[in-house]
Each structure stands twice: as C-alpha cells, then as structure tokens.
Chain A
Amino acid sequence: MEEEKVIVYDPVYCSGCMRCMTACSTYNNGATSLSKSRLQIVRHEGHAISPLTEEDDLIFDVLTCQQCNQPACVYFCPTLSIKKNNETGCVTINHDTCVGCRMCMVSCPFGAISYDGDRRALIKCELCGGDPQCVRFCPTGALKFLPKKEAHLPKRNHLARNLIQSRTRAIRDAATREGEHAGS
C-alpha cells in the first residue's frame, strides 16, 4: 500500500521566488503563468510599501490543497466528480463528469480550488501524479513532500530550536543577574 504523502511548506526557507508556481503551471497547463498555478505563494512585501522611517515585514506563505481526510470539496460536489484516493490520500477531479458548478471552490476552506477560464476547467493540486513539481523545483527546500504522519516535523524542529534558544538565554540571564547580585 502506498504511503499517504502531502506537500509541506516551511516559510523559514522560502525565498519567495515562485519557482514552484511556474513549474506547476508549466507542468500541468503546458504554459507558464502565476495565476493558474495550483499552489499559490502569498506575500506581504513590507519593504516595498513602507516609507524610510517605518519598518515592516517581508512574509511569504502558501495556499494549496491540503489533501484533507474529510475533503469538503468531495462532499459538496453534486456530480461525485471529486474523489479521494484511499491509498495515496490525493484528492482529484474527474473532468469528464465535472459540470463546472464551482461548489468545490466555494466549500474549500483553503481557497485551493480555482477556475481556469481558458480551459474552462476547475483546477486544484493533484500532486502531479505522485511527484509534485513544486517540491522538485523548490531551490531552497522550503517545500517538501512528506508522509502525512511526518508533516509536523519541520515546524516542530523550528519551534524546538526557538524554545531551546530562549530557554538558554533566560538561564544565562538569570545566572548573570545572580552573579551581579552576589558581587554587589
């Protein structure tokens, strides 16, 4: 039985280059675009819109299909055109029976389903048949294709590192304070 795998995004490593998106659209549509990528990097470019005297953040994040265990799109589809593969966990659209009613789009809590006006088709991430190109093309390793049961690890590792650092700092500060106290 195939292992259930998902795309995991790690904002710490993302350089915002959107190579995932050009790879996605080129692979799936045969033409390059950002608007028709199944996976969308969202951005806040604080440096571009703030005056010299104000500081702002530069943040990237991702919106894409989470391959849910209880996919709202599957339940809302009136023509039963969306299926979740029990082995791979991948949620796919059958375009032969899809009527384009967009109920899946409405129901998806992640905004991960969109409509390609040129091809008149609803599109979502279907993991490129098991070899997601966004992950393959990510130059920094910010996107990973991990077994669902390990998907939490990148985030947990960052948090653990932060926690250990702040603990170490707190212990060191306390020791310094005690030292100063003893010295006075």
Chain B
Amino acid sequence: MQVPKGYAGYALIIELTKKEATIEPLERFLADYDIDPRLWLGGDGFITKILWKDFSSPIDPLGPENEIIIATGPWTATAAPQSGRAMLGCISPETGGFGSGSFGWFFPATLKYAGFDVVIVKGRSETPCYVFIDDKRIAFREASHLWGKETGETVKAIREELAERYEGEVRVLSTSVAGENLVRYAVPCADGTSCPGRTGAGAVMGSKNLKAVAVRGTGEIAIDDPRGLLESSYSAVKRFFENEPFLKVWQEGGASTALGTTGSWALNGSMLAENRNAADFPHLKNVGCLNCHNPCYHWLQIKEGKHAGLRQLGGHMTFMTAVLRNLEIQDFGDWIYFERLMQELGLDPASFSVSLSWAVDLFEKGILTEKDTDGLTLRRGDADLVARIAQRVAHREGSFAGLLADGIAEAGRKIGRGSEGMAPHVKGKPSLLKDPKIQALIWSLGALTSPRGGDWLRLHNVYELAFVPEKTDNYPKFIDRTCEELYEQTVRLVDIPEELKKKIFGDPPKIDMVWVKSTKDKALFAAWTEDFVSLFNSLVTCMFGAATQFLMVGFGPTTYSEILRKITGWDMPYEELMEVGERVFNLQRLFNYRLKGWDSAQDTWGDKRAYEPARMGIFKGNPVPWDEVLQDYYAVRGWSPRGIPTRAKLSRLKLQTMIGELEIPD
C-alpha cells in the first residue's frame, strides 16, 4: 500500500519505560497495523485501528500498558481550510473503553511539519519526564521540577528550557495537576489553549509520568496539486462566508452570542439571552487555530466585578453551558474564570461540573452530608465554592475530592444509597444533558450511542433544538430571519443527497414543528451525522467548518472530496468518504463490544429520571420511547437488536477480518 502526498511520511513510537524512540516510515507502520490509508484516512480512523490491534481485552487505563496516540490526517497542516486539528486517543480512564478527542491550535500542524503523522506513547517513565520532538531528533528530558506546575507555567518553563528561537516555535501539549493526581477526567492542554477534552488522557499522561510532549517542526508537506488546492480552499471558504447564517453574530459577539441566539432552546432556557445582554463582556477579537476562517476562540477581557481585568482566550460554549446549566452560575466573569481555571488545572469542565452538580443533588436529598463532603455545604450558584472544590479535586485534597476525582460512576458505586440512579452519565462518562427528556431525539441518541460515552459531539446535530414549543422565535433579533426561513435555507444547503434528504425531511424536504415532534427517520439522520463526524475527525478537520451552530450548512463530504483530491490525488467520491466515517464508527462500536462486552445494555441513561414522563418539551407528559428509538437506530445501522454490528454490515464496510473469535450476529 502506498502513502500518497499530503501525509508527513513517518510514525513515531515512544517507549517511556526504556526511554526509546523509534521512527518508522509511515508505509511500514501502516502495514504493521494493517491500515490501508484510503480506508481509514488518519486521525480517529488511525487511532481506532491502532487501539483495535493493541487492545483486545480490558486493561487498567492508568497502567503502563495504556497508550497515548496522537494522530493527524492528510488534511492537517496543509492549505486546506481549518487544517490545525489532530485527534488524541487512549483507553479512557473514565469508561475503560474507547476514548478520543479533537484538539488544535498549532501543536498538530507543528507535529506534522516535524515529519510525523502518528505518535504513540507507551510504557511508563520511572521519574517525571517530557519528550521533545525536534524535527526528527527525539529527546527525553527530566521533568521533576515541572511536576506540580499548572498549565501556563509548564508551557512557559518548557519553552524557555528548549530555548525556542522565536515565540511559538516550540509547541507544548502538557498535563496539569489534575492529570498528575490521576483525576480520571483530567485533560491535556496544547499551549494552554486547546484540549482534547473528554478523553481523560491527562490522567493517562500523569500515570506514565509524562508531563508533556513538546514539538518543533520546520519541514513541509508535499501536495499533489498545490495550486488546485488553493483554488478549492478559496472557493470553499467563500461559499461558507456566503451561506453561514450565524457568521456575523458569531464574529461580532463570540460564542456566548451563540448561546444568545439559541436562547429559545429547551436546553438552556431563555435566561441565557437576557444574561448575555445584561453582561459587561468585552469581546476583543476572534482568534483561530491554523488556517481557520471561522475562529471560535474569543479574546476576552472582563471589565467589572471581582474578576475585572481577567483575560481569557476562549469563551467556549461547553464551559458556559456546563457551569451555567449544572452549577447555576450566572455571572459572566465567573464563567470565564471557571474556563480559565479548568484549563490551568487540566480538568474536563463537563465531567467536573456534572459530577459536582450531581453531588449537590445528593446533598440536597440528604444522601451526602457535611461528613461526606469534608465539611463543605454544597449548593448551586456559588462560584467561589466551585473554584475551591475544583482546586481540591485537581489536587485530590480530602476524601470528597477523591470521590469526585474517581469519576461519577465509580463515585456512585462507592456512595450507594440510590445515588447511582441519579448520576447523569452514559457508559460512565458524565453527560452534559441534565434532562434528555425535554430535548430532541437526535441529540439524545448521540449521547446514548457515542463510543466514548456520555456526550453528543460524535453526532453534533441540533436540528430539532431551534424550534421549541411554548417559546417565542428569537432568531430575527439576531440574524434577521425567522426560524422557518432559517430552516428553509438549511434544508436547501445541507450536503445530503436528494434521495436521503427526502427520506429524512419528507418530500419535498421541510423542517417544521411536525418534523421536530415526530420520531420517524430521526435515527437515519442521527446515523448520517455520526458517520459525518467520524469522517471529519479522520481527515482531521474541525467541526466548526462543517457545522457552525451545528446546522451543517458549512463544508460537507462534497467539499471534503474535492479538497482531499487536491491534497492526495485520491479520487474519493461522496459515498466512499461517508463510508470511511461509517467504518470508523462501526469499528469503535465493535472495539467496545470486544473489549468491554458493551451492547444495548450500555446504551442507557445512568440517571433513571430520564425514563420518567417529561415535564416539558416535545415529549411533555409522556416517557420518551427510548427502546423504540434505539431499535430504530440499530436497524438503520444494520446492527442486531442487541446493538452489535452484523456480519453483513461488517463485510460491507470491509471489516470482516476483524470478526475473528467474536460472537457476531449474521
């Protein structure tokens, strides 16, 4: 198998126990792992295939046998739009199953300019160390003096030690105190800016005594048709600017405005919009990862209040929804401080805030008392308390912090007394949706079936959330058009073949309240979006090109196909690319089934209140027919009623060789 242009050409395998680094030509590496690059592309595809080969039975995710895999793709570091991304994967310490997350800023591109498409870190160093990838020279460096340092200080110290010749030459992916203390949802952070969240990989780094990976890359990436690539990128971005309905509000006000526009979501409640308008929240400018035309980082400064002067590059929605929805913190200064704090401590904001919110529930119900919380009175709406608990969790100070640090599922098992049935998680990964019943089916399906558990980002579809009964249409205030007009444009632009479009949205395709409230063919749309997300995570490019505001009117597989042809010379039509996404998603499912025995029994809500009748939203008064919904979904996927990919499905996806000894339905 031949590796085309667009790849850097090498893989790096780091063995921390022996302090050995092996550089392999990518072709040989891929042959060893039986990876045909055209079937898997890179990123999440490579990670899934590598984990598949290296782990067939459960391991201790914090033991030396776990691996940190960083994989770029053919898209990364080229002149294609939003080429700053890579995926990071490992066995998740929170779930014990598949784990991967996307991250960006400039580490991924720099790694590729250094010559590497894939880096695997194995083993465990005796003492704290960090690895410096200086183009093709690899050095192991002592890091005892960095142990205990938070993110910003770590990045600064490493850049100084490595004597970068200009600022930003050396890029640093580091773990912080939460990772060192093996908090199971600790995340690494690239240059204090971009984190592969929800992986727990920060704790895996901590368990390996690996403080950081630093990289300097001065090389270049060969392109099959460089001028053609530029033209395709140019026209893709031009189309994006012409079509993206939320572009202006996003650029002028930042991600927090997006919460404003979606203020009518059942998810958030309209208070967000009011909150945003009342807040003094200077948004200085938008800042992006490599080649981003739609930057999601907002350079912010808080003007007044106790956090006056605080600056942050962020303002991201997950942090805000997490802290607002779960902890009821209303002040913008506190939101931004929370985001900064999470990055500095290396904590996953979703897992942390959901766990804490759940603990508050237990406290209010008397299941936890001050004896269990090290004397703390748990309550919502107290930002200082949240910050104090975050510090304690990251340092594992006290038994309550230790409980939260072990993850929500494990904490539930330890506490008992009915607490488990109130813990909002799927497969052990806390779920940001506090109450999936009030929401839409597609979004909820995303959380139920995500191979990494608990969140909807492997589906990324909010089509049902813009329309909410009993709420007024907020959109004209922000984008000069009504919800109906927005959806008319969306259905026209979304990159789905006409036939499939008719199946999903009716004939002629249309989104209205009838569509929102129905369950018919929602599973089909859910499966399509999951394949699509797996595709762009394998290329690797950013979700904000495909799906700003998540309506997916940005880049689609057609654009990917054109640009990928210019990068690699491969002529991969729409269907072939979508099949890559489907293949990756199916193997992740199969991986969890082989490793952990996960099937339909794990596609369930930890919080059993999800099975009660809904109080509002599209299922008001009735329980959501979760079983029915899931069976629909399995059928669309070509999986058995137990949720296992069938032999026929696996053969069609060229995965029949994976079956081996596995018990697979026909």
Contacts and interface: CB of A to CB of B under 8 A. Distances in A.
Interface residues of B, number: 53
A148 B175 CA distance: 48
Contacts of B340: 52
B226 A33 contact: no
Given A27-B230, A48-B193, A58-B313, A16 B222 contact: no
B79 A26 contact: yes
Among all A-B residue pairs, the 10 with the closest Cβ atoms:
A33-B220, A139-B293, A49-B156, A48-B192, A26-B79, A31-B220, A17-B288, A22-B79, A30-B226, A48-B191
Interface string A43-76: 1111111111001101000000000000000000
Interface string B117-129: 0000000000000
A118 interface: yes
Interface in B54-90: 77-79, 83-84
A47 B300 CA distance: 11
B285 A15 contact: yes
Given A33-B219, A35-B113, A56-B311, A49 B78 contact: no
Contact of A30 (B223, B286, B288): B223
Given A31-B226, A42-B167, 15 more contacts: A15-B285, A16-B288, A25-B79, A27-B226, A27-B227, A32-B79, A32-B221, A32-B226, A33-B220, A34-B113, A45-B167, A45-B192, A51-B150, A51-B152, A51-B344
Interface of A: 12-13, 15-19, 22-23, 25-27, 29-36, 42-52, 55-56, 58, 118, 133, 136-137, 139
Contacts of A36: 220
A36 B340 CA distance: 34
B290 A33 contact: no
Nearest to B345: A52
Interface in B86-115: 109, 113
Contacts of A29: 220, 226
A55 B287 contact: no
24 contacts: A15-B295, A17-B290, A19-B291, A19-B292, A22-B79, A22-B291, A27-B227, A31-B221, A31-B222, A32-B221, A34-B109, A35-B113, A35-B218, A35-B219, A42-B166, A43-B167, A47-B192, A49-B156, A51-B150, A51-B153, A51-B344, A52-B150, A55-B311, A137-B230
Contact of A15 (B113, B218, B222, B287): B287
B290 A137 contact: no
B167 A52 contact: no
A12 B155 CA distance: 26
B618 interface: no
B547 interface: no
A33 B188 CA distance: 26
Nearest to A52: B344
B9 to A, nearest CB: 12
Nearest to B149: A51
Contact of B220 (A15, A25, A27, A50): A25
Nearest to A22: B79
Interface in B129-175: 150, 152-153, 155-156, 159, 166-168
Nearest to B172: A48
B299 interface: yes
A31 B78 CA distance: 8
In this complex, the member of B77, B167, B309 whose beta carbon has the largest number of chain A beta carbons within 10 angstroms is B167
In this complex, the member of B193, B234, B293 whose beta carbon has the largest number of chain A beta carbons within 10 angstroms is B293
A160 to B, nearest CB: 19
Contacts of B166: 42
Contacts of B290: 17-19, 22
B341 interface: yes
Contacts of B223: 26, 30-32
B359 interface: no
A23 B167 CA distance: 21
B195 interface: no
B230 A52 contact: no
In this complex, the member of B77, B285, B292, B340 whose beta carbon has the largest number of chain A beta carbons within 10 angstroms is B285
A38 to B, nearest CB: 14
B237 interface: yes
Contacts of B150: 51-52
B311 A47 contact: yes
In this complex, the member of A29, A48, A51 whose beta carbon has the largest number of chain B beta carbons within 10 angstroms is A48
A41 B268 CA distance: 39
Contacts of A19: 79, 290-293
B229 interface: yes
Interface in B302-358: 309-313, 340-341, 344
Interface in B215-240: 218-223, 226-227, 229-230, 233-234, 237
In this complex, the member of B220, B312, B313 whose beta carbon has the largest number of chain A beta carbons within 10 angstroms is B220
Nearest to A28: B226
A133 B221 CA distance: 18
